[in-house]
A and B are shown apart, each in its own frame.
Chain A
Amino acid sequence: GAGVSQSPRYKVAKRGQDVALRCDPISGHVSLFWYQQALGQGPEFLTYFQNEAQLDKSGLPSDRFFAERPEGSVSTLKIQRTQQEDSAVYLCASSLVSEQFFGPGTRLTVL
């Protein structure tokens, strides 16, 4: 079956621009996670949904970051007024029980 998909795969934004990153989880997976992976680092947790409820957003670095999952399936991570330090790969993962399945990520470059 289809895995987790993310779009776009690559995004170049000018500083100050708003961006939206999409995640399509595996069908039926209740939990959805967003992680940020800076160059040469391990992924860092951003936020977690169970169905449409955002249960943990403790990892969002600032109020410029916003995530939603309105119908409990597709999720969007939005970054407003992008800064250079936002440049990273943004990974989405979904899970049903214990194992998280990761998408290929969106590489965001802020110029």
Chain B
Amino acid sequence: AQSVTQLDSQVPVFEEAPVELRCNYSSSVSVYLFWYVQYPNQGLQLLLKYLSGSTLVKGINGFEAEFNKSQTSFHLRKPSVHISDTAEYFCAPGGSGGSEKLVFGKGTKLTVNP
């Protein structure tokens, strides 16, 4: 069974600083990898996804992530954060079949301070 670990439950940063949110997964089979963002009292919005091909994936709002198969990691990065990036971020591997269930991490609460 797949599992996913988000190593930091909370990450406070100052505005315009870089940020990295860490994610490690365990799977012996090929997976799709996703990062979702959840703003307060809202549903989940897709930030970016890795399906195949280039290991560096660019998403919305200036976020990017790098798939590292040897380290089974999919860390999320942004070079300069804004106040509006304050939200909960979830890493989720999905089944190689595509339309299969996602296994979510516990989330990382990113707080951007002025």
Are A41 and B43 neighbours in the complex by a CB distance under 8 Å? no
- Residues of chain B within 8 A of A48, CB atoms compared: 99-101
The CA-CA distance from A41 to B46 in the complex, in Å, is 18
| Residue A45, interface by CB 8 Å | yes
Are A102 and B99 neighbours in the complex by a CB distance under 8 Å? no
Are A91 and B43 neighbours in the complex by a CB distance under 8 Å? yes
The CA-CA distance from A48 to B43 in the complex, in Å, is 18
Question: Using a Cβ–Cβ cut-off of 8 Å, how many residues does chain B contribute to the interface with A?
Answer: 23
Partner of A50, one of B46, B94, B99, B103: B99
| Residue B98, interface by CB 8 Å | yes
- Residues of chain A within 8 A of B102, CB atoms compared: 33, 35, 43, 45, 100
Q: For residue B54, give the distance in angstroms from its CB to the closest CB of chain A.
A: 16
Residues of chain B touching chain A, judged by Cβ–Cβ distance below 8 Å, are: 32, 34, 36, 42-46, 49, 51, 90, 92, 94, 98-107
- Residues of chain B within 8 A of A93, CB atoms compared: 44
Partner of B104, one of A31, A44, A104: A44
B88 (CB) vs chain A CBs: closest residue: A42
- Residues of chain A within 8 A of B36, CB atoms compared: 102
| Residue A25, interface by CB 8 Å | no
Residue of A33, A48, A98, A101 ringed by the most chain B CB atoms within 10 A: A98
Q: For residue A17, give the distance in angstroms from its CB to the closest CB of chain B.
A: 24
Partner of B99, one of A45, A91, A98: A98
The CA-CA distance from A56 to B1 in the complex, in Å, is 14
The CA-CA distance from A76 to B77 in the complex, in Å, is 37
Q: With contacts A30-B99, A102-B45 known, is A43 near B104, CB below 8 A?
A: yes
Residue of B45, B99, B100, B102 ringed by the most chain A CB atoms within 10 A: B99
A-B contact pairs, 16 of them (CB 8 A): A4-B43, A35-B104, A41-B107, A42-B104, A43-B44, A45-B103, A48-B99, A93-B44, A95-B99, A98-B49, A98-B94, A98-B99, A99-B46, A100-B102, A102-B45, A104-B43
Are B106 and A41 neighbours in the complex by a CB distance under 8 Å? yes
